Amino acid sequence: MSSSIEIKENVRLAPLTTLQVGGNAKYFVTAENEFAVIEALAFAREMGLAVFILGGGSNLLISDSGFDGLVVQMKMDRSDARKWAEEDGYLDGSGLEIDEPGSRRFCVGAGESWDDFVKFCVENDFAGVECLSGIPGSVGGTPIQNVGAYGQEVSESILAVRCIDTVNLRPIRITNVDCKFAYRSSIFNTSEVGRYVVYDVTFLLKYQGSPKVVYKDLIEHFGERRPSLTEVREAVLNIRRSKSMVIDADDPNSRSAGSFFKNPIVSCDKLAELQAEMGNIPNFPFGDAVKIPAAWLIEKSGLHKGFSLGNVGISSNHTLAIINRGGATANDIFVLKDEIQRTVADKFGIMLDPEPVFVGF
Ligand SMILES: Cc1cc2nc3c(=O)[nH]c(=O)nc-3n(C[C@H](O)[C@H](O)[C@H](O)COP(=O)(O)OP(=O)(O)OC[C@H]3O[C@@H](n4cnc5c(N)ncnc54)[C@H](O)[C@@H]3O)c2cc1C
């Protein structure tokens, strides 16, 4: 088989990320199907190169020195995924298969825009991902940290994830259970980091299902009324826009990687200790522990919305977002991240865990 991949050298990565910082990739390949992924991985193996898989670049901090290996940008779209899916017998001729009464499977290529897929589902009356409207990035990026927002997580609708296993360069189908999804985590960002390249994701969605309205802001917005999927999508998008949590070229506060820190999970004993010293601290039950809003901890540490440090800062619309105010370097962002972590740790004894992936540091 002739080579279907074009390997470029010294490709700038900053424009491919939402933070718009970072150096070059030594080698760079755009993969439009899973065969291209296999070829790219084989090339890297032959050359002894490290590999980084790039989706939509919305959850990354790439170092100023870039990545000294091969970056594989995932560009496979739904039609490629559908072709494979039909060969595997997952879908019928229309590309959709009734799975159980009222539900359907959608097999979506990793390179598809996540929000285009959500919009398609909402417009066609499929429930299960409506609260995840407006999250930037690719479909293939969503299982990695089990994206979640407004009371919904992508793991609630994922049936299986198909990947190329970098160990043997063969396809493998990993079921929902085996992905070991949890809060902002899965095997892909914990026990098996870098092992699997996701080339499509199969979702099971409920036809004419009810939207999920469990998040405080949404409950307050709709009151007693049962909203449609479209109304929930619109409400989520409006809330997100007010926090600069949708990418908008005209909104400098959206030049971010979304929330930069996860909400820390602490034991009930630790919470009681803090509350004895500092009074009430907002928290949410999480198994036998509690989750404390990272935004609250940052604000109470004295770092407020709009805080700036040279070319970087905290979004004026969202305490959790570190933004590139223009002309920032990755190092500038790293320094502010450290400053926030140190300040919160000094005040509360809690070390905030960053959410984005650090590349080339
Ligand atoms: C404004 C804004 C708002 C956001 N809001 C939210 C939110 O509400 N909830 C939330 O959970 N996240 C949110 N995010 C973070 C981010 O959008 C998601 O995590 C998204 O799913 C990342 O996908 P991506 O394609 O951009 O991945 P990238 O940023 O390109 O990559 C992230 C990680 O996933 C890996 N990866 C990507 N694609 C693949 C693949 N096909 N196979 C294997 N590994 C892969 C990469 O190697 C990297 O480790 C937000 C980000 C921004 C900028």
Q: Length of the chain, please?
A: 361
User: Facing residues of 312 across strands?
Assistant: 309, 324
CA distance 149 to 245: 11
Single pTM value for the model? 0.93
C-beta neighbour count of 96 within 10 angstroms: 16
Report whether pLDDT(51) > 90.
Answer: yes
pLDDT digits (tens, 9 = 90+) for 243-267: 999 999 999 999 999 999 999 999 9
Residue with tokens 């500092």: 278
Strands 24-31 and 67-74: parallel
Q: Kindly list the structural domains of the chain, giving each domain's residue range(s) and its CATH number in brackets, ordered by start.
A: 8-74 (3.30.43.10), 78-242 (3.30.465.10), 252-359 (3.90.78.10)
Considering 184, 195, 241, 325, which one is annotated as catalytic?
A: 184
Per-residue pLDDT at 186:
98
How much distance in Å is there from the Cα of 193 to the middle of ligand 1? 14
pLDDT (average), residues 117-141: 95
> In the structure, what pLDDT confidence band is assigned to residue 98 with cuts at 50, 70 and 90?
very low
Report whether pLDDT(8) > 90.
Answer: yes
Per-residue pLDDT at 78:
60
Decide: helix, strand or coil at residue 87. helix
Question: If we measure between CA atoms, which residue out of 68, 28, 74 comes closest to residue 49?
Answer: 68
How much distance in Å is there from the Cα of 114 to the middle of ligand 1? 10
User: Facing residues of 170 across strands?
Assistant: 165
Any atom of ligand 1 within 6 Å of the Cβ of 227: no
Question: Best mutation site among 58, 189, 195 for ligand 1, i.e. most ligand atoms within 8 A of its Cβ?
Answer: 58
Concerning whether 184 is annotated as a catalytic residue, the answer is yes
Concerning whether 103 is annotated as a catalytic residue, the answer is no
Lowest mean pLDDT, pick from 19-28, 96-105, 317-326: 96-105
Per-residue pLDDT at 99:
54
Residue 215 is classified by DSSP as: S
User: Facing residues of 207 across strands?
Assistant: 126
Torsion angle (degrees, nearest 10) of CA 205, 209, 215, 218: 120
How much distance in Å is there from the Cα of 225 to the middle of ligand 1? 33
CA distance 39 to 6: 10
Decide: helix, strand or coil at residue 171. strand
pLDDT digits (tens, 9 = 90+) for 276-318: 999 999 999 999 999 999 999 999 999 999 999 999 999 999 9
